[in-house]
Amino acid sequence: MSDRILVTRSSMPPMDEYVREIESLWESHWLTNMGEKHQQLEEDLKRYLGVDNVALFVNGHTALECVLEAMQLGADGRRKVITTPYTFASTTHAIVRVGLEPVLADIDPVTYTLDPSCVEKLIDDETCAIVPVHVYGKLCDVDALADIAKRHDLKLIYDAAHAFGVTRDGVSSATFGDASMFSFHATKVFNTIEGGAVCFADPALADSLEQWKNFGITSQEHVEYVGGNAKMNEFAAAMGICNLRHLSDEIAKRKVVTQRYTERLQGHKGVVLCPDQPGVVSNYAYFPVVFEDDFGSTRDDVFDELHKHDIYSRKYFHPLVSDFECYAGRFDSNATPVAKHVAKRVLTLPMYADLSLADVDRICDVVLGCAR
């Protein structure tokens, strides 16, 4: 009776809806380079996210690299960027790959996002920016971070890969800071198969983002930057146009899954859930559980037990960025004890819109069966 439950399942529109969306591409033969689907998705996203400025990209990671480059961070000699070790590999990799130097600050024990007081302590004359990461569909302390960035003359660029569609007091997560990067990877709440976007406050950034994603070409006979190729193609944009139509349904279904998990797991000894934030409407991107030592089994035991039942969870985020082999000798995970504590104990349980409540119950039965 044990059917496999994967950790996620990509959202897809009805096939005929997608086919209708791409039909015009057989008329235009225009497959990429900012075609009609690209333009339409940008407009749809502006409306959905409540922003004036959106640039689409081939993926979220490259979007982050491009916005760091387009902002010319490091040009004034300040090269340090404060970010979190509690994130996906992409965040610090983007900072390093554009020639900047990540400095890792600890996280808040409740929201798992950057702790503003830890950020402030690490700022010095060489700091140019803060790259906070919204985690699991919960938001950073955006007010405190904005205040710090302003007082220290720092750029504030959010890795908002987990926060597409999230609002606080009705305000879109895409409006915080100088810019926010979104990922539209297949596993995210909203996907374009692979894809990403940057939302940004200063309209002057629009041209340089367009140029950075297209080889630094500024006009037919001018190439002013050593840019890359990071354009979203028309088939990906068409997928986004379709998926966006179904997004509020998808998020509503995720909310039901989240509520069931919460009912089943809340209050059990040693089980820590990520609480709702006042005024924040989440997208329910992930369902993280932290297994404290008095749960009776370790996170790794729970992971293995789920695996035995053909249920796939994810140690996310583990390991910490500071413990990656590629950064050996560069960071010390003991300097961020909260992040270290959480990374060792966290598990994200299967989460997707069509996960049945019967399956959620099956998952919770296995998890709670690990308690002592």
Which residues form the interface with ligand PLP (CB under 6 A)?
A: 59-61, 87-88, 90-91, 133, 159, 161-162, 183, 185, 196
Residue 336 burial (C-beta neighbours within 10 Å; 0-12, 13-18, 19+) = buried
Other beta carbons less than 10 A from residue 42's beta carbon:
19
The encoded tokens of residue 188 equal: 């995210």
The encoded tokens of residue 211 equal: 């140029």
Question: Strand 80-83 vs strand 127-131: parallel, antiparallel, or unpaired?
Answer: parallel
Between 115 and 159, whose beta carbon lies closer to ligand PLP?
Answer: 159
Minimum CB separation from ligand PLP for residue 76, in Å?
Answer: 26
Q: Considering just the CA atoms, what is the radius of gyration of the chain in Å?
A: 21
- Asked whether the beta carbons of 307 and 346 are under 8 A apart, the reply is no
Between 59 and 167, whose beta carbon lies closer to ligand PLP?
Answer: 59
3-state secondary structure 238-276: HHHHHHHHCHHHHHHHHHHHHHHHHHHHCCCCCEEECCC
Between 184 and 295, whose beta carbon lies closer to ligand PLP?
Answer: 184
Minimum CB separation from ligand PLP for residue 69, in Å?
Answer: 16
Between 55 and 364, whose beta carbon lies closer to ligand PLP?
Answer: 55
- The DSSP annotation for 19-50 comes to HHHHHHHHHH---SSS-HHHHHHHHHHHHHHT
Between 87 and 258, whose beta carbon lies closer to ligand PLP?
Answer: 87
Between 141 and 194, whose beta carbon lies closer to ligand PLP?
Answer: 194
- Asked whether the beta carbons of 329 and 268 are under 8 A apart, the reply is no
Which residues, 6+ apart, have CB-to-CB distance to 151 below 8 Å?
none
Minimum CB separation from ligand PLP for residue 337, in Å?
Answer: 21
Between 106 and 194, whose beta carbon lies closer to ligand PLP?
Answer: 194
Minimum CB separation from ligand PLP for residue 21, in Å?
Answer: 21
Minimum CB separation from ligand PLP for residue 365, in Å?
Answer: 29
Which of these, 72, 94, 74, 66, lies nearest to 210 by C-alpha position?
66
Minimum CB separation from ligand PLP for residue 187, in Å?
Answer: 7
Which residues, 6+ apart, have CB-to-CB distance to 12 below 8 Å?
18, 243
Between 179 and 271, whose beta carbon lies closer to ligand PLP?
Answer: 179
Minimum CB separation from ligand PLP for residue 160, in Å?
Answer: 8
Minimum CB separation from ligand PLP for residue 67, in Å?
Answer: 12
Provide the phi-psi class of 362: left if phi over 0, else alpha when psi is between -120 and 50, else beta: alpha
Which residue number has the CB closest to ligand PLP?
A: 60
